Structure 1
Amino acid sequence: MADDKDNAEAILSEVHKKISDAFDLFDHEFNKTVDVREIGTIIRSLGCFPSEVELHDVITEAEDEEPMGYIRFERFLPVMTRVLMERKFRPITEDLLLQAFEVLDQQNKGYLEAEELTKYMTLEGEPFTQEEMEEMLSAALDPEKNVIAYKDFVSMMVIDDAQ
């Protein structure tokens, strides 16, 4: 039984170190606080990909009673530990991502035109900003054909989740 407890403590210690290392990268004042606007980047660097609503919920939970624009490490650590231990906000699988693009490709062409993708990404669901759309198109668009060959793009976007 001691091995299980030691193993659990080792895992928890490793999770705490990952969180601390990620947090420290953005603690520019070295005072165990980070700007609240950096929390999304910190969370994503830990392999979690919450929606904007989920991110807001995490921030609300980690903020002090009186939000001051900063998140303190001692408030962030237990919240993020729980997120990582519960394996929340995991990246989407390649198959699911491919299926999403195939739904948008109603003619089964194997690609989407830039205007088509822009329409879907800015008008549906959690809309992309103009800046996010430009960034996505710069990575996804075949400049010669002016289309997104989504099978290739999906392969670029998928993260190997070997954690």
Structure 2
Amino acid sequence: MAESKQSAEVTVSDVHKTIRAAFEAFDYESNNTVDVREIGTIIYSLGCFPTQADLHDLIAEVEEDHTGFIQLDSFLPVMSKVLLEHKFPPIPEDLLLQAFEVLDKEKKGYLEPEELMKYMTQEGELFTQEEMDEMLTALADHEKNVVFYKDLISQLTIDPDM
């Protein structure tokens, strides 16, 4: 009995370490605070993919006094619960591939950054221009100026045993 309780504590400790590391990557002033606009990126980096409505609700829960900043102390327990309960799981890899293949009408294996930007800012759950700029900077093949979506999918999907 004590063994299972101890392993559960290790899991929570590991979750806390993972969340802290993701949070600290965006804590530019090292004061346990991040800009509220970074929270979505932090959550996505942790393998959680909430809808924009869910993300808005989560931010409302952890942002204090609408300051535009999130404290680690507020974020940690909420995000720990999200991770431990496996909320906001990623879309399975095969469904993501099917979605990209629908968008890639010519079956080229890639999308032009402009095409991807159009789809992501005008259809479905809309991304902001800032989010798209960050995404394209990170994901586009800058030599060929395209986004190879099979590479993108491998970056977007997370090993479920992580």
TM-score, normalized by length of structure 2? Answer: 0.73
CA distance in 2, matches of 1:38, 1:7: 31
Range that drifts further, 90-99 or 126-135: 126-135
1:91 corresponding residue in structure 2: 90
Distance in 1 (CA, whole Å) between partners of 2:35 and 2:67 is 9
Structure whose alpha-carbon radius of gyration is higher: 1
What per-residue deviation string (whole Å, max 9, x for no partner) do you get for residues 57-83 of structure 1? 11111112x211111222111110011
Note if contact 1:141-1:149 (Cα within 8 Å) is conserved in structure 2: no
Amino acid aligned to 2:8: A
% identical equivalent positions: 57
**Total equivalences in the alignment:** 159
8 Å Cα contact 1:94/1:154 also seen in 2: yes
Partner Cα distance (1:51, 1:101) in 2: 19
Match for residue 51 of structure 2? 51
1:105–1:11: structure 2 CA closer, same or farther, 3 Å change rule? same
Unaligned runs of 5+ in 2: none
Q: Distance in 2 between matches of 1:153 and 1:28?
A: 27
Q: TM-score, normalised by structure 1?
A: 0.72
Return the letter of the residue paired with 2:82: V
Contact kept? 2:111, 2:146, Cα under 8 Å: yes
Show the counterpart of 2:6: 6
Aligned-residue CA RMSD (Å): 3.3
In structure 1, C-alpha distance between the alignment counterparts of 2:4 and 2:90, rounded to whole Å: 28
Tell me which amino acid in the other structure corresponds to 1:50. P
Is there any run of 5+ residues in structure 1 with no aligned partner, and where? none
Of the two structures, which has the highest relative contact order with CA contacts closer than 8 Å and spacing of 6 or more? 2
Tell me what 2:77 maps to. 78
Provide closer, same or farther for how the CA distance between residues 140 and 95 of structure 1 changes in structure 2, counting only shifts above 3 A: farther
State the AA in 1 paired with 2:123. Answer: E
Aligned amino acid, residue 93 of structure 2:
E
